[in-house]
Amino acid sequence: MTAITPQPGIMDIDLYQGGAAHVAGLDNVVKLSSNENPHGPSEAALEAYRRAAFELHRYPSSDHAPLRKAIAEILGLDADRIICGAGSDEVITFLCQAYAGPGTEVIHTEHGFAMYRISALAAGATPMEVAERERVTDVDAILGACTDATRLVFIANPNNPTGTMIGLGEIARLADGLPPHALLVLDGAYAEYVDGYDGGAALVDGRENVVMTRTFSKLYGLGGLRIGWGYGPAHVIDVLNRVRGPFNISQSGLNAAEAAMRDTAYATFCRTENARWRTWMADALAEIGVPSDVSCANFILARFASQAEAEACDAHLQSQGLIVRRVGGYNLPNCLRITVGDESSCRRIVHAVRQFKNGGADGSGI
């Protein structure tokens, strides 16, 4: 026994489960378990990253001004109201650290991203799960769940792992209906995959109670570097900067992200390829009896008849060197989340699921 104990809430945290990357006995696997960009980052980002090697003895920029300027210029935002973090995960952590704490509540949706709960607990707050409507964010349910203790409301739009999203009108209704002490966090980790969607930036500009988080980990293919950002009202960005460490992002990460943001042609290429193969894969799977909701992101949530079928299919995919994500931890035990890979990965997925549905590669049953 020890008298040294962590703060309340910490021991309620279940460790975040990342996407698997290996299958025992196979070396040539395709990893479709973490929603990574199958094409990798832009050449310009790689070049900027390599150049940073000559300055490794220097501390990085502390105010991230060049990256904030690039984001602001390309997306038409106010650079002074952008904050950068080590992945959008860190911005989520800042939000909980700054606005939640013992005696307060943090709302997230039924199938919402795991880090909302983890960060809320880490801050000593109480996470409150709110039901969705058929795997879609339910604004009325969220409004109904707000109390005097609500401080933060997290919604991912599009959501992970469902891939669904709600319209800007619904988000505005949510923002307008929240109690005055609650901040709405619009997690736009997958916003770049939606043509013409600003991630909620205009809503942020028009209100004092909305923050948007974004990432370079998905469309920009820089998950390994850990760079995300937030956009919010001046009063919120000021607060978040007070809890942010001065050197929270490496210079190589900052340089690569700036180049990635400015390479809009490559971003368009990745968005277009993703949309094309996402539709192809979803349609092909639906035809063989594996439906999914229309996805707005870079993955699809494939639905099976039962948990047993989903797990058996996952085992078959693994045997074929294809790693996807089980989502039982997200209350979706009969589903598998499959990242949209390149053409060959999508074809291999459909081929393997068809084999599975037909009773195995050799017709012997699985």
Residues that bind ligand PMP in the complex, under the rule CB under 6 A:
87-89, 113, 156, 160, 187, 189, 215, 217, 223, 228
Our CB check for ligand PMP shows the closer of 200 and 228 to be 228
Minimum separation from the CB atom of position 270 to ligand PMP (A): 16
CA dihedral (70, 73, 75, 79) positive or negative:
positive
Q: Which residues are 322's β-sheet partners?
A: 30
Q: Which is nearer to ligand PMP, 271 or 347 (CB)?
A: 271
Distance of CA 168 to CAs 42, 185, 199, Å? Answer: 30, 14, 9
Q: Which of 251, 283, 269, 281 is nearest to 350 (CA)?
A: 281
Please, which residue, 127 or 228, has the CB nearer to ligand PMP? 228
- As measured in angstroms, the least distance from the Cβ of 94 to ligand PMP is 12
Query: Within 13 Å and on the Cβ side, how many CA atoms surround 53?
Result: 5
Smallest distance from ligand PMP to CB 359, Å? 34
**Minimum CB distance to ligand PMP, residue 224 (Å):** 9
Shortest Cβ distance from residue 101 to ligand PMP (Å)?
22
Q: How far is the CB of 302 from ligand PMP (least distance, A)?
A: 17
DSSP sequence for 122-167? HTTPEEEEE--BTTB--HHHHHHH--TTEEEEEEESS-TTT-----
**Rounded to an integer, what distance in angstroms lies between the CA atom of residue 230 and that of residue 137?**
21
Measured from the CB atom, the residue of 35 and 355 that comes closer to ligand PMP is: 35
Is the CB of residue 366 less than 8 Å from the CB of residue 312?
Answer: yes
Q: Which residue has the tokens 């050449």?
A: 43
Considering the complex, state which of residue 179 and residue 223 has its C-beta at the smaller distance from ligand PMP: 223
Cα angle 292, 279, 219; round to 5: 100
Nearer to ligand PMP by Cβ, of 124 and 223: the residue is 223
Of 188 and 233, the one with the shorter C-beta distance to ligand PMP is: 188
Beta carbon of residue 160, minimum distance to ligand PMP (angstroms, whole number): 4
Q: Is the Cβ of residue 26 or residue 294 nearer to ligand PMP in the bound state?
A: 294
Tokens of 323: 């790693």
- Least distance to ligand PMP, CB of residue 225, Å: 9
Alpha helix (H) residue ranges in 200-250 = 201-206, 234-243
Nearer Cβ to ligand PMP, position 249 or 353? 249
Give the nearest residue (CB) to ligand PMP. 87
Q: Is the CA virtual torsion 208, 209, 210, 213 positive or negative?
A: positive
Spatial distance between the Cα atoms of 231 and 214, rounded to a whole number of angstroms:
8
For ligand PMP, give the closer residue by CB, 187 or 192. 187
Spatial distance between the Cα atoms of 249 and 67, rounded to a whole number of angstroms? 11
Joined together, the tokens standing for residue 221 give 């293919």
Coil, strand or helix: which one is 31?
strand
Phi-psi region of 135 (alpha: psi -120 to 50; beta: other; left: phi over 0): left
Q: Minimum distance from CB of 114 to ligand PMP (Å)?
A: 8
Nearest approach, Cβ of residue 118 and ligand PMP (Å): 11
